[in-house]
Amino acid sequence: METYDTLLSSITSAEGPTRTILNPATGEPVGEAPVHTVEHLNQAIEGAAATQPAWAALGHKGRSEALLKAADAIERSAEELAQLLSREQGKPLNGPNARFEVGACATWLRVAATTVLEPETVVDDGQTRAELHYKPIGLVGAIGPWNWPMLITVWQIGPALRMGNAVVVKPSEYTPLSVLALISVINQELPDGLLTVISGGREVGARLSEHPAISKIMFTGSTATGKAIIKSSAGTVKRLTLELGGNDAGIILPDADPKAIAQDLFWGAFINTGQTCAALKRLYVHDDIYDAVCEELTAVAAAMPMGNGLDENNVLGPLQNKAQFDIVDRLVTSAKESGARVLLGGNPDYDQPGNFYPTTLVADIDNDNPLVAEEQFGPALPIIRYSSLDEAVEKANGLDVGLGASVWSPNLDAAREVAARIDAGTVWINSHGMVNPLIPFGGSKQSGYGLEFGVEGLKALGLPQVING
């Protein structure tokens, strides 16, 4: 196990230019991130190409054993990784935040290592026998975001490595240290050159997307960037898994108990201080219980402490960067100017250090208000009143994104009927955003395509081959 200082120095002592990473809670320096170039990327790809065949030759058993050891390595350095993650990303140590994220990295890696994927017999009628197998793709490029930098990196690299591929990772420019540290720990148990991090700018990401040696891109981030990757990857016909922007709707049916669901509603919306692609971002509540839901949710939200992530008492932190703070501030301001009713928050202290936006609930807001129609990606939730179920479903389906959604009711049959009418990759019932490493996850419409997690996630990182005869 490394100390925090040892871990940090191991990833910031590289020769060449660096960039200072600041703590979004305090503005103080966290460390110096290397600024890699396209030349560094080319070297990483050459090394990955040289290492990948031997890794593929290990077979599923050998690769799984190595990945299980890598999960153990994450757990040995869990507290040091969580401390760095909290400083760089801003999320608190406690709650469903930094320590939770690091622990989930080990869990997801273990599941990727141990999920069974057997050849599938598709026809065996005595005359014809056909089997479906999955072979390694070769080299995979993994481009990650700043909101869950460690965990989403593992979502990408775990199945890619398990299926026999080499991986080149390009982290967000906002959170490179977290990913560099995580990969450094994982690489204690992997062959040199198999898994590499290139901490560079947009030109590195663009080159990774078009590089002829890369056969698959895994990307989590904005829809706009996803579209750019689609275009740049087209020349080499790369396989893509894209988890893009969302604006998830939740529909509360009139028979729900506002007090009983308030805590789960809160975390569905405000996990990671709202900086989650599949967080609850629009809440539709029936007239009959609208006021009660507003009251109960406000009581829960008001009791959740926000502040520096290193304070063990906090469960909400700052927005990771000033650009995101400005987006949330603009959208809440537009809601206030429209006459919507602010139940809580909406009054940031612009003079305090850090990118803190207060937990904000906005009621009596029109469905076409920018706070509803645009993805806020922060701690502000609009609560929209509805009278008929058809109206709620129409509004929930009214945007061009469809990552997740949720339905809230004690009547599971009724909730499932409503869920089936919603255009989203995942619809949760009486929860929101609870992902599971064995349950496939992916979006619809402009929230992307391709599935992650479980058997389907492994298949997405392999080349299907039919052996017929």
Asked, for residue 177, whether it belongs to a domain, the answer is yes
Residues 6+ apart with CB under 8 A from 227: none
Residues 356 and 396 in one domain: yes
Residues 238 and 259 in one domain: no
Residue span of the structural domain in which 70 resides? 4-244+447-468
Residues 219 and 189 in one domain: yes
- The mean pLDDT of the chain is 97
Instruction: Report the pLDDT value the prediction gives residue 356, as an integer from 0 to 100.
Output: 98
- Give the pLDDT confidence of 285-314 residue by residue, as tens digits: 999 999 999 999 999 999 999 999 999 999
Query: Judging by DSSP bridges, how do beta strands 129-136 and 462-468 pair with one another?
Result: antiparallel
Give all strands (DSSP E) within 29-82, no chain letters: 29-34
Locus of tokens 């926000």: 306
Kind plus residue range of the DSSP H or E element containing 467: strand 462-468
| Spatial separation of the C-alpha atoms in residues 235 and 264, rounded to whole Å | 45
Residues 223 and 256 in one domain: no
Residues 174 and 226 in one domain: yes
- Span 363-375, mean pLDDT? 98
| Spatial separation of the C-alpha atoms in residues 171 and 144, rounded to whole Å | 5
Residues 132 and 271 in one domain: no
Residue of 88, 105, 277, 296 marked catalytic: 277
* CATH code of residue 17: 3.40.605.10
Name which of 169, 331, 216 is nearest 229 in CA terms.
216
Sign of CA dihedral 77, 162, 115, 271: positive
In the chain, % of residues over pLDDT 70: 100
Q: Is the pLDDT of residue 394 over 80?
A: yes
Q: Is the pLDDT of residue 460 over 80?
A: yes
Asked, for residue 118, whether it belongs to a domain, the answer is yes
Residues 223 and 125 in one domain: yes
- Span 386-410, mean pLDDT? 98
- Span 100-111, mean pLDDT? 98
In the chain, % of residues over pLDDT 90: 98
- Span 117-142, mean pLDDT? 96
Asked, for residue 67, whether it belongs to a domain, the answer is yes
Q: Is the pLDDT of residue 421 over 70?
A: yes
Instruction: Report the pLDDT value the prediction gives residue 16, as an integer from 0 to 100.
Output: 87
Q: Is 339 left (phi over 0), alpha (psi -120 to 50) or beta?
A: left
Residue of 88, 173, 243, 296 marked catalytic: 243
Strand partners, 167: 140, 195
Residues 342 and 366 in one domain: yes
Residues 158 and 214 in one domain: yes
Asked if 375 is an active-site residue, the reply is: no
- Give the pLDDT confidence of 92-103 residue by residue, as tens digits: 999 999 999 999
| Spatial separation of the C-alpha atoms in residues 136 and 461, rounded to whole Å | 7
- As for how many domains the chain has, the answer is 2
Strand partners, 143: 170, 219
Q: Is the pLDDT of residue 466 over 80?
A: yes
| Spatial separation of the C-alpha atoms in residues 223 and 403, rounded to whole Å | 11
Q: Is the pLDDT of residue 13 over 80?
A: no
* CATH code of residue 300: 3.40.309.10
- Give the pLDDT confidence of 207-262 residue by residue, as tens digits: 999 999 999 999 999 999 999 999 999 999 999 999 999 999 999 999 999 999 99
Tell me if 24 sits within 8 A of 318, measured CB to CB. yes
- Give the pLDDT confidence of 135-146 residue by residue, as tens digits: 999 999 999 999
CA–centroid distance for 366 within its chain? 29
Asked, for residue 362, whether it belongs to a domain, the answer is yes
CA–centroid distance for 47 within its chain? 28
Residues 184 and 48 in one domain: yes
Residues 263 and 399 in one domain: yes
Asked, for residue 441, whether it belongs to a domain, the answer is no
Asked, for residue 64, whether it belongs to a domain, the answer is yes
Confidence of residue 448 (pLDDT cuts 50, 70, 90): very high
Tell me if 320 sits within 8 A of 147, measured CB to CB. yes
- Span 453-469, mean pLDDT? 97
Confidence of residue 1 (pLDDT cuts 50, 70, 90): low
Name which of 324, 316, 309 is nearest 345 in CA terms.
316
- Give the pLDDT confidence of 177-192 residue by residue, as tens digits: 999 999 999 999 999 9
Asked, for residue 442, whether it belongs to a domain, the answer is no
Residues 290 and 205 in one domain: no
Give all strands (DSSP E) within 148-187, no chain letters: 166-170
Name the DSSP class of 447.
T
Instruction: Report the pLDDT value the prediction gives residue 2, as an integer from 0 to 100.
Output: 76
